[in-house]
Structure 1
Amino acid sequence: MARTPSAMKYHRQSEKRRLDNRARKSTIRTFTKKALAAADSGDVDAAAKYQKVVQGLVDRAAKGSTLHKNTAARRKARLAKRINAAKASQGSA
């Protein structure tokens, strides 16, 4: 455990950052699941709405140090790919 005052402060700060990052990533996962569920059920409009929300959340997480920029790009690309596939299958059906 930290003994010096500066080490204790650093520990408090890192714990606060960890909890903030955890909450931010949880929100991203929740909205990603909602977008994928909407796309799988055929509700493309709702999926597109959730996709826009997810992209904003992911970009903000990558702006800080919560997510790496390449991770953010990969998550957005994979989500877009799934939603576009759902749109295409809905259009052909």
Structure 2
Amino acid sequence: MALRHKSAQKRHRQSLKRRMVNRSRKSTIKTYTKKALETITAGADTSAADIAAAQSKAESLIDKAAKGSTIHKNTAARKKSRLARAIYKAKAAQLA
């Protein structure tokens, strides 16, 4: 189906731009979530401040994506909860 109307062409261009921005944000969230998990699993050489900073950065990106409706707010809450739970589990495993 060819886009014949100017308004349809513009909306299509806009949707492609939004798609690229949204994909970039989602990718960044995944990257920083993995970095936060790697920080805790790196071993005893990482401080609690480093772990908290990594978790804070990941949660901040998740919140910003939810605020801009890149992801749904419930999805953001679920991602943050899973991240916190994984970090808590990793800390407990290190102490045991």
TM-score above 0.5: yes
- RMSD of aligned C-alpha atoms? 1.4
Task: Give the secondary structure class of the aligned counterpart of 1:82.
Answer: helix
The equivalences for 1:9-28 within 5 A come to 9-28=10-29
SS of 2:39's equivalent in the other structure is helix
Give how far 1:44 is off: 5.6
Q: Which residue pairs with 2:4 in the alignment?
A: 3
User: What is aligned with 1:78?
Assistant: 82
Q: Considering fraction of residues, name the structure with more helix.
A: 1
Where does residue 55 of structure 2 map in the other structure? 51
Unpaired runs of at least 5, structure 1: none
Q: TM-score, normalised by structure 1?
A: 0.89
Structure 2 stretches lacking a partner, 5+ long: none
Identity of aligned residues (%): 57
Worse-matched range after superposition: 10-19 or 31-40 = 31-40
Shift of 1:48: 2.2
Distance 1:38 1:76 in 2: 16
Distance in 2 (alpha carbons) for counterparts of 1:4 and 1:89: 60
Q: How many residues align?
A: 92
CA distance in 1, matches of 2:6, 2:30: 36
